[in-house]
Structure 1
Amino acid sequence: MVNAPTAVTALLPVLLFALTGLALLLIDTIRPSGRSNTSMAVVSALGSLGALGATAWLVVSGTVGVDAGAVRLFADTIAVDTMALFFIAIFASVTALVVVAAHDYFHDHANPAAFYSLVLFATTGMALLAVANSLAVVFVALEMVSLPSYVLVAFLKQNRGSVEAGMKYFLVGALSSAIFLFGISLVYAATGSLLFGDVAEAVGSLDGLAGVAGLGIVMIVGGVAFKTASVPFHFWAPEA
């Protein structure tokens, strides 16, 4: 069983994303005069770079690596390994670039903190998705990515196209979430587990993918395809 300090250390990059997003909201709430576009961009960039540094430190220190193996947390529902840290490093790098690029765009915006915090919360969901080892965690992580994304698409509230695209994205996202969740329930009914390893082993022992398990997998793939705008489920993407 992994102790609490090790769990916090292994999830440090994910926690840094979340804490940075909360810090932005806190600054925006208790110190409105300090919520300038530059300060919000700097805090966001530092939080992203801090998560990137924590990711590199986990590998260099040997906490996670080829020799150390994956750090498994919360009854194996989360697995932090080198592959997960690789994707978290990509998310952190891209987020830092996004907030820096957004600095000029929001130079005259009244409340830029909302944008930067939403970006950080969406990145938190992406990082959690990278370390997920359970279909339940995958669903929660996808929703953590999706909910801020809906708001970001409709962020320009005075722009009719932005609001319309955000509404369409929300409706499609709600439908895909329902399909994805129902698929998870079918897979659980067929395999008796939500952990990736157990599901793969149970599906491998089944006689093909016909029946409940096959239908559940198809619904899961369809839900993810909607979320990721994969062909032919990409019709909402141009407006969004």
Structure 2
Amino acid sequence: MELAMLAFERPAIDWHAFAPELVLLAVGSILTLIDIVYNERARRVMPALAAVGLLATLVPVLTLAVDGADRSMFDGAFVVDDMALTLKALFLISGFVVVLLSVDYIRDGDYHENEYYSLLLASLLGMVLIASSRDLITMFIALELLSIPAYMLAAWRKGGATSNEAGLKYYLMGVFASAIMLYGMSLIFGVSGSTQFDAIRVALDTGGDSAPMVTLGILFVLVGFGFKVSAVPFHTWAPDVYEGSPTPITAFLAVAAKAAGFVALLQLVFVAFSGRYDVVEPFFWIMAALTMTVGNLMALRQTNIVRMLAYSGVAQGGFMLAPFAVAGQATDSAIQAIVTYLIIYAFMNLGAFAVVLAVAKKTRSGEISSYAGLFSYAPGLAVAMTVFMAALAGIPPAGGWVAKLLVWRALLDASSVQGTVLAVVVAFNAVLAFSYYAKVLREMWMSDAPDGDTSPVSVSGTLTLALGLTVLATLAFGVFPQLAARFGDFSASFAL
């Protein structure tokens, strides 16, 4: 017994490095206790506590950034570096905006409010963990911590058939994708003998005799994450789930959950699989071209704005997948393009869903035709939506143009035929996407309000704050492109 105790060495824990996760866990636990112990009146403070808790979690993220030192725990399975801190901040700010979107929607709707914010923070905890994961087991656990609360949140409108369908479909497809991913991870572990990304990279570089097994394992893992980022042909769940879920959760799934999938892909492709770009690049070339093209073509046919934004999100995911297709040829440019796109995409998409929430309070409709004449009775919302549609289309001065420009630059920096051809596909799809964003703009600015109803839209203070933050960020990234690009450069140091 004594010998066993002597052989066990307690892992060293850097509490400062682990502070964001601990603060978020503490806030989520407090919210759960309030729900259990206190009465309904006390529970009304839960949205405010969730928002304050997310801002409080940003404090250790900022102190770690100021400190500037890279930190590692658990033999390299958990890493805190510039890349991780940038993405943790993105997840926390996105979560804060989602809380702002949720306050009135959840309180005024026919929803059970109490566990909502606890589940939201639990899912965010998984995302924050993913940003620091450098180990297959750590990443898978973080991914499931993200996903399981999200399955429940998608079905939060318990009395609605569409919400129940959304939750069930999301759950079944998510479990199927996780099983495929886990099988791929088991193959990679069998070849490499390790779950740590650095060791996997070394093993895959030297594992010539196991090349078929390595290829199969990598492809299974990438297919699993293809579901998480709703890439074609693994995207079919997204429109139905987005339409059936409560609108704030739709925004959460479309932005934060998708971003978490891309963060995991960043770490896998540029660290664990960095010696097998011969497998990774063709896979992403095909998936990026299909995803942006199919997403745009399907978005053209939509008359419901949530479904349009769902397919738009699929297409935007295709733009973000494109730099992975030149991961080994233009590594730094590819990382910068992906991270910058994730940051800008988060703000412009969250803002678009904020406008959808505000307009739906008056029109009780999600049809694009219900936006007719919006400028005549809600000019502020019309201007905000114009900023977000312009950003999604890549039109200056909204920030989307910076994201698309960096994608083109990464593809052209590769100086290869496949990179150049994919750059042409990206350019074609950018033009194609403008047509359905323009449809929304035409309704808002050039059509008359239905039935001549120009009564004003009531926008709550929390929704106004969310709109203000997202508009300001979207314009700031477009007017000061070096701001977003700096975060991409800031994060490129993690690649090997």
What is the TM-score when the length of structure 1 is the normalising length?
Answer: 0.91
Structure 1 equivalent of residue 18 of structure 2: 11
Distance in 1 separating the partners of 2:180 and 2:118:
28
Aligned-pair distance for 1:3?
A: 3.7
Q: Secondary structure at the match of 1:239?
A: helix
Aligned-pair distance for 1:75?
A: 2.1
Structure 1 equivalent of residue 155 of structure 2: 154
Identity of paired residues, percent?
A: 35
Aligned-pair distance for 1:107?
A: 2.1
Q: Name the aligned partner's letter for residue 179 of structure 1.
A: I
Aligned-pair distance for 1:20?
A: 1.3
Structure 1 equivalent of residue 60 of structure 2: 54
Aligned-pair distance for 1:174?
A: 0.7
Q: Secondary structure at the match of 1:158?
A: coil
Distance in 2 separating the partners of 1:167 and 1:89:
31
For these two proteins, the number of residue pairs brought into alignment is: 231
Distance in 1 separating the partners of 2:15 and 2:34:
24
Structure 1 equivalent of residue 392 of structure 2: none
2:99 is aligned with 1:92: no
Q: CA contact under 8 A between 1:73 and 1:79: conserved in structure 2? A: yes
Distance in 2 separating the partners of 1:72 and 1:119:
27
Distance in 1 separating the partners of 2:233 and 2:240:
16
The structure carrying a bigger helix percent of its residues is: 2
Task: Please provide the CA RMSD for this pair.
Answer: 1.7
Question: What are the equivalent positions in structure 2 for 1:26-41 lying under 5 Å apart?
Answer: 26-37=33-44, 39-41=45-47
Distance in 2 separating the partners of 1:157 and 1:203:
47
Distance in 1 separating the partners of 2:221 and 2:51:
34
Aligned-pair distance for 1:185?
A: 0.6
Q: Secondary structure at the match of 2:79?
A: strand
Q: Secondary structure at the match of 1:24?
A: helix
Question: What are the equivalent positions in structure 2 for 1:65-104 lying under 5 Å apart?
Answer: 65=68, 68=69, 70-104=70-104
Question: Where does structure 2 lack aligned partners over 5 or more consecutive residues?
Answer: 1-9, 242-496
Runs of 4+ aligned structure 1 residues displaced above 6 Å come to none
Structure 1 equivalent of residue 236 of structure 2: 235
Distance in 1 separating the partners of 2:43 and 2:103:
10
Question: What are the equivalent positions in structure 2 for 1:212-231 lying under 5 Å apart?
Answer: 212-231=213-232
What is the TM-score when the length of structure 2 is the normalising length?
Answer: 0.45
In structure 2, do the counterparts of structure 1 residues 208 and 49 end up closer, same or farther at CA, with 3 Å as the change threshold? farther
Aligned-pair distance for 1:33?
A: 2.8
Q: Secondary structure at the match of 2:232?
A: coil
Q: CA contact under 8 A between 2:55 and 2:96: conserved in structure 1? A: yes
Q: Secondary structure at the match of 1:10?
A: coil
Q: CA contact under 8 A between 1:35 and 1:113: conserved in structure 2? A: no
Q: Name the aligned partner's letter for residue 94 of structure 1.
A: S
Higher alpha-carbon Rg:
2
Q: CA contact under 8 A between 2:12 and 2:73: conserved in structure 1? A: no
Question: Where does structure 1 lack aligned partners over 5 or more consecutive residues?
Answer: none
Structure 2 equivalent of residue 175 of structure 1: 176
Q: Name the aligned partner's letter for residue 77 of structure 2.
A: T
